[in-house]
Chains A and B, each alone.
Chain A
Amino acid sequence: MSNLFPKSVNKLPLQILIFIGLTVGVVLAGVTYYATPKYTRVGYAPQQPVPFSHALHAGQLGLDCRYCHSNVEKSGHSNVPTAQTCMNCHNQIKTDSPLLAPVRASYASGDPVPWVKIHQAPDYVYFNHSVHVARGVSCVECHGKINEMEVVHHSKPLSMSWCLECHRAPEKVLRDPKLVTNLDWKHPGGAEAQLEQGKKFVHDWNVQPPQSCSGCHR
């Protein structure tokens, strides 16, 4: 019986395997890159209508986060300041800056400045700022070092698994609620001391971050 198949066919299984491996690899890489928050969100730094610099205001000038995000301790939403808040200072300083024109226009007309949203939780997620701030989770844990950002960018993935990492081990990040807006603060005793203090807080404050669906999804 003659050979029905040429010799080159012997390599076929290997070729198929390599092809499948490559395809799966490309698909996985694609999905990871295009569809996971770690890649889709982190680094997102859109241009804002007013080139507001957090590095200048919060870092250099040392404004407290809560001067502008005034309701962060009361509401689930951390409000973006009204134009009126900006004008509290800017009716004295840089009153003619062309960069601030949209703010002045907004204050005059009442129409909002269209700030571009950077951190966006999906509609079915009910994240609450006030409870995190009140219980000693610093802004920096989710937003990164805003006080060093010239242009704010998305610094953490804010994916569900990322949220849960912290909800499962809150002791790693808990600090005295008085220090939550101090973005440069690190426990002076280092990571170990932080852990020790965090455990104490978890116990003393009865911290039980929700780990079930109802905590965030309603």
Chain B
Amino acid sequence: MKRKFDHSAPEQNEAPTGPRYWRSLDELAETPGFQEQMAREFPEGADNLNGVDRRRFFKLMAASFALGGVGLAAGCRRPESHILAYGKSVENIIPGLPLYYASAFPIRRNAIPVLAETHQGRPTKIEGNPTFAPYGGATNAYAQASVLDLYDPDRSTTSTIKGSAATAAQINDLLAAIGSEARASKGAGLVFLAESSGSPTRERLVAKLKRELPAAVWAEYDAVLDEVPVAAAKAAFARDVKPLYRFAQAKRIVSLDADFFASESGSIGYTRDFAKGRKALTKDADLNRLYAVESTFTLTGSMADHRLRLASSHLLAFAAALHGAVTGSKQLEKLTAGLQFKDQEKWLAACAADLLAHKGKSLIVAGAHLPAEVHAVVYALNVALGSVGNTVDFVAIPAPASAGIAEVAKALEAGAVKTLVILGGNPVYNAPADLEFAAALKKAGQVVRLGYHVDETSAAASSGVHIASAHYLESWGDARTADGTIVPVQPMILPLFGGVTEIEVLARVLGEAKPDGYSLVYETIAGLNALGGVDGEKGFRQFLHDGLLAGSAYKSVDVSLNAAGLSMLLASATAPSAVTKDALEVRFITDAKTDDGRFNNNGWLQECPEPITKISWDNAILVSPRLGKELGIEPGGSLIQVARKEFGTFQQGKEQAFVGEITVDGRTLRAPIHIQPGLSNYTVAIALGYGRSATGRVGTGIGANAYAIRSSNGLGYATGAKLAIVPGEFAFLANTQEHWSMEGRDIVREANLDEFRNNPGFVAGMGMEAHSPAVYGDMKPEEFAKLSREERAKITAERSASTPRGGSLMETPDYSGKNAHLDGVHQWGMSIDLNTCIGCNACVIACQAENNIPIVGKDQVLRGREMHWIRLDRYYSDGKLEGGAFGGPGNAELPEDPQVSLQPVGCMHCELAPCETVCPVNATVHDQEGLNTMAYNRCIGTRYCANNCPYKVRRFNFFDYNQRQLDSLYMGPLGKKGMPELVKMVKNPDVTVRMRGVMEKCTYCVQRIQQAKIAQKVKAGASNNVEIPDGTFNVACAQACPAEAIVFGNIKDPNSRVSQMKALEQDYQLLGYLNIRPRTTYLGKLRNPNPEMPDYAALPLSRKEYESKNHPAGMHGHGATEHSGSGHDSHGSKEEHKPHASLGKILFGGNS
């Protein structure tokens, strides 16, 4: 029987086939602009030369050919080059082989243990240190990108005194003079302002400072909060403790505004633990359940099974109400005043019942930015639920610094500061606006600033001293991880510009005998080791080797609730004011890209799309759909809109956003408005860390500075704000979310846990391949899913090498027998678990660092030319059937509560790759081990392959992004050519740096595969032991992933980890019906909602859309006959129709 797939667009008023995912509101609304874009291969402008017409183009070409001719004559013979061997042999260095050193990436109080890869003394890549068990070798995007900062051409290269360059000796003398002067007055008038740090050496030096110069002030200030305020623990438990969560043990989790996947300290370990509790390796797996109550849309919220949108200022009331529901006591009832949300009683009762049913296995977490009162109530809740000691441990921590930036500002105002030493940070930029820190700074006698950039603070203190700071990869230091384990910071390279560290500055002021970093750290660690009776030198070497000091983690302590302290803290709490359109709440969020602004000049991070909004190179005022509507952002012609208006000048792929002005306490800020579904109605969110006036060429002038409206009494959020549209002003936002849309099919396959338990192979019943003849081998997906895992792994392994032809009518090449082209020792494949992927971008940056992927700049991203080899698709679904995309009347209301499905997509290395068949020059071909390779030197840039790739994962070098300045790309040969020496140093020497005009894409880290194969063959020598043992190496994305969602390996070996993952019932191919046989497959996403909850959905919302589109009730044709059991070919027996029939009931309330 001949089958024909109809891909034509659905008629108006006809239900289209395929699930309705939408990646942007424009897509959901089907605005004309979006429709136009869908018809294009690349977004508009992506394939056009900027402002150059055909005629001019040929003129330019003629000129460049002429120039080329001149070059030819000289280039006949290759130039002489040299081999420069070392004069003296260097220990351990073998040219061509990387070395790995244990170090740590310090950020605020908590460091991430890392291994730095160095090539002949040049660090190029950061990996997690697997010796530190809680993180298991995982990292995050910041740590991955931190190596780029080392080679930042805009970093501070010289120390200056009063604006003129100073030598290291001059600086040292100056610091020593400050110290001896201060000694005379016991330190009066000497003030230090630093960021918080976990460094034991710094702790030791600060203790010495307090001892020797008791009148000196030591103050700490962090621009963003990532640790729970100690005041809460002080009140609740009467001691200095902090919570460490054990998510792996928690079965029921409630998060109050806590983004513990990203912005909370220790997030890597938390993600890892959470993912452990979320893995569905068997159908009886007991998945955890996450309730998220939050004002903004965070990654944590996107993972939640139940998500409640609530203003941050109302979370104290919520916590109190939940406390009441859990304990039944009326003790905190008065705090609940003002709390109001939909189905409040039912929500709280059902949630509380669920928590109580899992006493000792439940956990409540609150965001670090929330006030101490919330945390105190959360502690009380955790105590009541028996979580303490089970899912949360309290560890004793050193008392925090007594002074903060407010005290420093006060002292400055009073003129009491003779010398202010600012160690790192950037207070002029990020201090609370009410402190007027820049003005106050002028009242200091002398300002000494240790800074990595000549930034706002250095500029404000230009009459003082600026000391160039060293990067952590070029300095000695130590730090603590979130659980308190002491980790070393080792230099990989001598300071490139002679920078120093804060401990060195401190030591010189204190007049230490040996003020160099190594001696300081050695002394600290030897001192600690001596306590345990360990030899100093030996212990220190062990410390450096392991990358951590074993047994140095904070000790957990028993805590008991101190009712008096708690009620005293809560006594002053008042009921929150209502948030309305005229009294908005503003949330200041830690940015996923620049953190608090410290990574502002890091191109990798700047270009990485924010995980939820998908905006790169900018921040924006995020507003809820309802607020957007009330602000009148509603262009004619479209039913739903984002913060954009379709003018005559509108260009697709570019988000032209309204500009809004926020007013808080009389301070105003202008920024583009972006409508973000899932926000609390009257909370607007803005990311910190943008709008820098002095940083470097990447970050200066990007975005809006939200610190300008943030004051001391509202560091996390402020209330009573107003937002108005600035008439006639618009801004472009480089938003990657509409590029390469997959047109809403069964892309992310989801099920609820109860359905999965009945039918773990639910993915096999979805998608067009479930309804077509078996395209892969001789088995249809549903039959295949019925086999045992061992059988499936075995068949998959066999298929990987034999490429069976299957039952497709499409004439695929016969690869059986001696025509086998996949005859390598290994067959590479990847499995991505969508159930644990949190969409954190660590893989994207890890890939960028490993594979020399260039950044292209905002202008190019606006044209859809970003180069990331992995993109993280973020789909919204709201389960509504009447949307415009269905041919119905369209949504009258903007969806406010969408569910999010995230999916990383890179090259799938299809066995029957469509890109390969269209390449006219064989630049992309298959190798024997199943890799879809890309030979850059053959590529002539036709881009046919990108056109023919159904996943749209190929990236084209429209310009020589490596050699050209991003602001002069369009100047052609007139622009400056060449990469700064410093930037060259970050490149991975094992990967080709691509030039203009070639296509590139994920290679499955072919360099790592080859290195592992070579190492194995060297080991094998004259034997046949050439198969790489499973787990010997890993690809960059999988290595960085904190959720262990990506597994890579040899699928020819049925026992390898990747084969085991692929053998799981919920394994499916993306667009499997195309019969292109991708080597990357996905594990379906599961949700675990509570049936008692008022917002319970019997099916994930995206699935609801899928089912209602493909099996619409009451409609004649395909779906109806299927459910009547008339022997539809995709379903075996009558029993199997039951789940579908019941789905119909769920969807249509039994009307079907």
Selected contact of B1024 from candidates A131, A134, A204, CB within 8 Å: A204
Would you call A217 and B937 a contact (CB within 8 A)?
yes
The answer, yes or no, to whether B74 is at the interface (CB within 8 Å) is no
Contacts of B85 in A (CB 8 A): 79-83, 112-113, 115
What is the distance, in angstroms, from A175's C-beta to the closest C-beta of chain B? 10
In this complex, the member of A73, A115, A136, A218 whose beta carbon has the largest number of chain B beta carbons within 10 angstroms is A218
Q: A85-B89, A126-B1007 are in contact. Are A75 and B94 (CB under 8 A)?
A: yes
The answer, yes or no, to whether B579 is at the interface (CB within 8 Å) is no
What is the distance, in angstroms, from B834's C-beta to the closest C-beta of chain A? 28
In the complex, the chain B residue whose C-beta lies closest to that of A131 is B1014
Contacts of B77 in A (CB 8 A): 34, 40
Q: A204-B1024, A205-B1023, A208-B928 are in contact. Are A71 and B95 (CB under 8 A)?
A: yes
Q: A79-B85, A84-B89 are in contact. Are A210 and B928 (CB under 8 A)?
A: yes
The answer, yes or no, to whether B44 is at the interface (CB within 8 Å) is no
The answer, yes or no, to whether A106 is at the interface (CB within 8 Å) is yes
The answer, yes or no, to whether A135 is at the interface (CB within 8 Å) is yes
What is the distance, in angstroms, from B911's C-beta to the closest C-beta of chain A? 14
What is the distance, in angstroms, from B434's C-beta to the closest C-beta of chain A? 54
Give chain A interface residues in 185-214, CB to chain B under 8 Å: 201, 204-206, 208, 210-214
The 8 A CB mask of B1014-1032 against A (1 = contact, 0 = none) is 1001101111101000000
Would you call A217 and B935 a contact (CB within 8 A)?
yes
Would you call A134 and B925 a contact (CB within 8 A)?
no
Selected contact of A217 from candidates B87, B88, B94, B992, CB within 8 Å: B992
Give chain B interface residues in 985-1033, CB to chain A under 8 Å: 990-992, 1003, 1006-1007, 1009-1010, 1014, 1017-1018, 1020-1024, 1026
Contacts of A218 in B (CB 8 A): 990-992, 1003, 1006-1007, 1010
Contacts of A210 in B (CB 8 A): 927-928
What is the distance, in angstroms, from B851's C-beta to the closest C-beta of chain A? 9
The answer, yes or no, to whether B81 is at the interface (CB within 8 Å) is yes
What is the distance, in angstroms, from A116's C-beta to the closest C-beta of chain B? 6
The 8 A CB mask of B637-654 against A (1 = contact, 0 = none) is 000000000000000000
The answer, yes or no, to whether B65 is at the interface (CB within 8 Å) is no
Would you call B87 and A82 a contact (CB within 8 A)?
yes
What is the distance, in angstroms, from B998's C-beta to the closest C-beta of chain A? 11
Would you call B89 and A176 a contact (CB within 8 A)?
no
Would you call B76 and A208 a contact (CB within 8 A)?
no
Would you call B927 and A215 a contact (CB within 8 A)?
yes
Would you call A205 and B1020 a contact (CB within 8 A)?
yes
In the assembled complex, the Cα of A79 lies from the Cα of B86 at a distance in Å of 10
In the assembled complex, the Cα of A212 lies from the Cα of B922 at a distance in Å of 11
Selected contact of B86 from candidates A34, A82, A120, A126, CB within 8 Å: A82
In the assembled complex, the Cα of A86 lies from the Cα of B1075 at a distance in Å of 61
The answer, yes or no, to whether B784 is at the interface (CB within 8 Å) is no
In the assembled complex, the Cα of A214 lies from the Cα of B933 at a distance in Å of 6
Give chain B interface residues in 926-975, CB to chain A under 8 Å: 926-929, 931, 933-937
The answer, yes or no, to whether A77 is at the interface (CB within 8 Å) is yes
What is the distance, in angstroms, from A43's C-beta to the closest C-beta of chain B? 12
Would you call B95 and A79 a contact (CB within 8 A)?
yes
Would you call B1024 and A205 a contact (CB within 8 A)?
yes
Would you call A77 and B933 a contact (CB within 8 A)?
no
Contacts of A73 in B (CB 8 A): 1018
In the assembled complex, the Cα of A81 lies from the Cα of B90 at a distance in Å of 12
Contacts of B1018 in A (CB 8 A): 73-74, 130-131, 134
The answer, yes or no, to whether B406 is at the interface (CB within 8 Å) is no
Selected contact of B78 from candidates A40, A77, A107, A213, CB within 8 Å: A40
Would you call B825 and A112 a contact (CB within 8 A)?
no
In the complex, the chain A residue whose C-beta lies closest to that of B77 is A40
In the complex, the chain A residue whose C-beta lies closest to that of B926 is A212
Contacts of B81 in A (CB 8 A): 116-117, 120
Would you call A74 and B925 a contact (CB within 8 A)?
no
Selected contact of B1017 from candidates A74, A123, A135, CB within 8 Å: A135
Contacts of B531 in A (CB 8 A): none
Q: A115-B82, A215-B927 are in contact. Are A208 and B87 (CB under 8 A)?
A: no
The answer, yes or no, to whether A98 is at the interface (CB within 8 Å) is no
Give chain B interface residues in 68-92, CB to chain A under 8 Å: 76-78, 80-89
In the assembled complex, the Cα of A39 lies from the Cα of B511 at a distance in Å of 68
Contacts of B1009 in A (CB 8 A): 214
**How many cross-chain pairs have Cβ atoms below 8 Å apart between A and B?**
155
Selected contact of A110 from candidates B87, B933, B936, B1003, CB within 8 Å: B87
Provide the main secondary structure of the chain B interface: loop
Contacts of A117 in B (CB 8 A): 80-83
What is the distance, in angstroms, from A115's C-beta to the closest C-beta of chain B? 5
Contacts of B990 in A (CB 8 A): 126, 218
The answer, yes or no, to whether B920 is at the interface (CB within 8 Å) is no
Would you call B1010 and A177 a contact (CB within 8 A)?
no
The answer, yes or no, to whether A181 is at the interface (CB within 8 Å) is no
The answer, yes or no, to whether A62 is at the interface (CB within 8 Å) is no
What is the distance, in angstroms, from B87's C-beta to the closest C-beta of chain A? 4
What is the distance, in angstroms, from B1017's C-beta to the closest C-beta of chain A? 5
Would you call B937 and A124 a contact (CB within 8 A)?
yes
Selected contact of B87 from candidates A75, A107, A206, CB within 8 Å: A107
Would you call A82 and B89 a contact (CB within 8 A)?
yes
Would you call A131 and B86 a contact (CB within 8 A)?
no
In the complex, the chain B residue whose C-beta lies closest to that of A111 is B87
In the assembled complex, the Cα of A215 lies from the Cα of B1017 at a distance in Å of 13
Contacts of B935 in A (CB 8 A): 213, 217
Selected contact of A74 from candidates B80, B97, B823, B934, CB within 8 Å: B97
Selected contact of B83 from candidates A40, A71, A115, A128, CB within 8 Å: A115
The 8 A CB mask of A19-61 against B (1 = contact, 0 = none) is 0000000000000001100001000001000000000000000
What is the distance, in angstroms, from B159's C-beta to the closest C-beta of chain A? 27
Give chain B interface residues in 261-296, CB to chain A under 8 Å: none
In the assembled complex, the Cα of A34 lies from the Cα of B1023 at a distance in Å of 43
The answer, yes or no, to whether A114 is at the interface (CB within 8 Å) is yes
Selected contact of A112 from candidates B86, B1007, B1026, CB within 8 Å: B86
The answer, yes or no, to whether B824 is at the interface (CB within 8 Å) is yes
Contacts of B82 in A (CB 8 A): 114-117
Selected contact of B80 from candidates A46, A134, A176, A211, CB within 8 Å: A46
The answer, yes or no, to whether A109 is at the interface (CB within 8 Å) is yes
Contacts of B78 in A (CB 8 A): 40, 120
In this complex, the member of A117, A123, A208, A213 whose beta carbon has the largest number of chain B beta carbons within 10 angstroms is A213
What is the distance, in angstroms, from A211's C-beta to the closest C-beta of chain B? 7
Selected contact of B933 from candidates A106, A113, A176, A217, CB within 8 Å: A217
In the assembled complex, the Cα of A34 lies from the Cα of B86 at a distance in Å of 34
In the assembled complex, the Cα of A126 lies from the Cα of B1014 at a distance in Å of 12
Would you call B1014 and A130 a contact (CB within 8 A)?
yes
In the complex, the chain B residue whose C-beta lies closest to that of A112 is B84
In the complex, the chain B residue whose C-beta lies closest to that of A201 is B1022
Would you call A74 and B936 a contact (CB within 8 A)?
no
The answer, yes or no, to whether B1149 is at the interface (CB within 8 Å) is no
The answer, yes or no, to whether B1150 is at the interface (CB within 8 Å) is no
The 8 A CB mask of B853-881 against A (1 = contact, 0 = none) is 00000000000000000000000000000
Contacts of B94 in A (CB 8 A): 71, 74-75, 79
What is the distance, in angstroms, from A101's C-beta to the closest C-beta of chain B? 14
In the assembled complex, the Cα of A111 lies from the Cα of B825 at a distance in Å of 45
Q: List 28 A-B contacts (CB under 8 A).
A: A34-B76, A34-B77, A74-B97, A76-B97, A77-B95, A77-B96, A80-B83, A82-B87, A85-B89, A110-B88, A112-B84, A112-B87, A114-B82, A115-B83, A115-B84, A116-B81, A117-B83, A136-B1022, A205-B1022, A212-B926, A212-B927, A212-B931, A212-B933, A213-B927, A213-B935, A214-B933, A217-B937, A218-B1003
Q: A115-B82, A218-B1010 are in contact. List 7 more A-B contacts (CB 8 A).
A: A71-B94, A114-B82, A116-B80, A134-B1020, A208-B824, A212-B928, A218-B1007
List residues of chain A with CB under 8 Å of any chain B CB.
34-35, 40, 46, 71, 73-77, 79-85, 106-117, 120, 123-124, 126, 128, 130-131, 134-136, 176-177, 201, 204-206, 208, 210-215, 217-218
8 A-B pairs closest in CB distance? A212-B927, A77-B96, A112-B84, A75-B96, A206-B1024, A110-B87, A134-B1018, A213-B935
